[in-house]
A = this chain, B = another copy of it.
Amino acid sequence: MKNVKKIAIMGHGVVGSGVAEIFLGNHQNIENKTQVSSEIKYILDLRDFPGLSYSDKFIKDFNLIANDDEISVVVETMGGLNPAYTFVKTCLEKGKSVVTSNKELVAEKGAELLSIARSKNVKFLFEASVGGGIPIIRPLSQCLAANNILEINGILNGTTNYILTCMIRDGVSFEDALAQAQKLGYAEKDPSADVLGLDACRKICILASIAFSKHVYPKYAHAEGITKITLKDVEYAKAWGGAIKLVASAKLLENGKVALETSPAFVSSENPLSSVNDVFNAAFIKGDAVGDVMLYGRGAGKEPTASAVLSDVIEALNSTDSGLALNWSDCDYDITEPYENLKNRMYLRVSGSDLCGLDKVFSEREEVGAVCGECAFITPAISYSELAAKTEQLAALGISVDAAIRVLDI
Contact = CB atoms under 8 A, between A and B. Distances in A.
Given A133-B293, A135-B139, A275-B272, A314 B324 contact: yes
A135 B133 contact: no
Would you call the interface of chain A mostly helix, strand, loop, or mixed?
mixed
B26 A325 contact: no
Interface in A285-310: 287-298, 301, 303-304, 306-308, 310
Given A139-B135, A325-B35, A147 B26 contact: yes
Nearest to A303: B289
A148 interface: yes
A296 B323 contact: no
Number of copies of this kind of chain in the complex: 2
A148 B272 contact: no
A294 B297 contact: yes
Interface residues of A, number: 56
A362 to B, nearest CB: 33
Contacts of A308: 143, 290
Contacts of A138: 135, 138-139, 142-143
Nearest to A318: B324
Interface string A106-138: 000000000000000000000100000111001
A290 B297 contact: yes
Contacts of A22: 146, 289
7 contacts: A22-B146, A30-B146, A135-B143, A142-B311, A287-B307, A290-B298, A320-B321
